Amino acid sequence: MKIFKYTILLWLLGYTSLQAQIIFTESLAPVIDTTRSWQGNIAPELNFKTEKDTYFMVKNNANVSFLLRKKKAVTILNQVEIAKSGDKLNVSNGFVHMEYRYLYKPTLEVYPFAEGVWAPSRGLLTRVAGGFQLRYLFLHTDHFTWRGGVGIFYEYERWNHDGVPNLTTDNIEVYQESIKSRLATGISINFTERSFLQASFYIHNRMDSNVKNPRYAYCIDLKYKITDNLGLWLSYQAIQHTKPIVPVKKLYVVLGSGVYLSW
């Protein structure tokens, strides 16, 4: 059993590729069950096309949490996208996020976190961030969960202009370092024993910037359980930049669907 756990963990870390600038942690990070030593889910997605060259894409979303002690846990969130066109293999957009979660109270978590993101198709070459957050469970019943968090973090970003529409200038790289605040909230609604909805909202803002220029995002997920461990999912994600550091489109939308496995 221990070998299986470590194999899953290495698999999650070994295929680390990164996607959007805001990771939807309030939809992805599970409420910790202190009666279980570990929990998580994997949601793979496959895409095959017969174009000029045979195109095959594997995309995976995953999260896993390990209970270290009664009040401490490590959560790892991960997304990877690997595409093969002909003989060319490309590891592109995705993310990895790690939290060391201390359950100060059943309703209150305090934790440091670190994450990395890259989305070269949009011009985001590297984004690395780390900080500290409080997460509070406002309400938790059999049918409804509501939680939120507040935090502060350091962020480093490196962009080029590959994602800029109708580029007329040189494709130079742009760097930015900043200290930002983070606000987040998320809900989960169980319509039936097998169908449920998750939604979350996020705001990032520079501590030395006008509050009128934040980066914010929201996410809506619909899931349906076929069995206790197998289900279908549909997701809508949107990130809005009010003042991006390169002139990319301010609204970034991702639609996804697939099958997930949970334990």
CA angle, corner 233, sides to 231 and 237, nearest 5? 160
Yes or no: say if 206 and 182 are a contact pair by the CB < 8 Å rule. no
Yes or no: say if 179 and 156 are a contact pair by the CB < 8 Å rule. no
| Interatomic CA distance for residues 204 and 188, integer angstroms | 22
| Interatomic CA distance for residues 102 and 7, integer angstroms | 25
Region of residue 123 (left: phi > 0; alpha: psi -120 to 50; beta: else): left
Q: In 200-250, which residue ranges form alpha helices assigned H by DSSP?
A: none
Question: What is the total count of domains within the chain?
Answer: 1
pLDDT score of 168 more than 50? yes
Q: Which residue has the higher pLDDT, 158 or 252?
A: 158
| 56: β partners | 48, 84
| Interatomic CA distance for residues 241 and 55, integer angstroms | 32
DSSP for 106-142 reads: TTEEEEEEEEEEEEGGGTEEEEEEEEEEEEEEEEE-S
Q: What is the pTM of this model?
A: 0.78
pLDDT score of 105 more than 70? yes
pLDDT score of 61 more than 90? no
DSSP for 36-47 reads: -SEEEEEEEEEE
Q: Please report which confidence band the pLDDT of residue 18 belongs to, taking 50, 70 and 90 as the band edges.
A: very low
pLDDT digits (tens, 9 = 90+) for 200-238: 999 999 887 666 678 899 999 999 999 988 999 888 989
CATH number, domain containing residue 170: 2.40.160.40
Q: 63: domain range?
A: 2-262
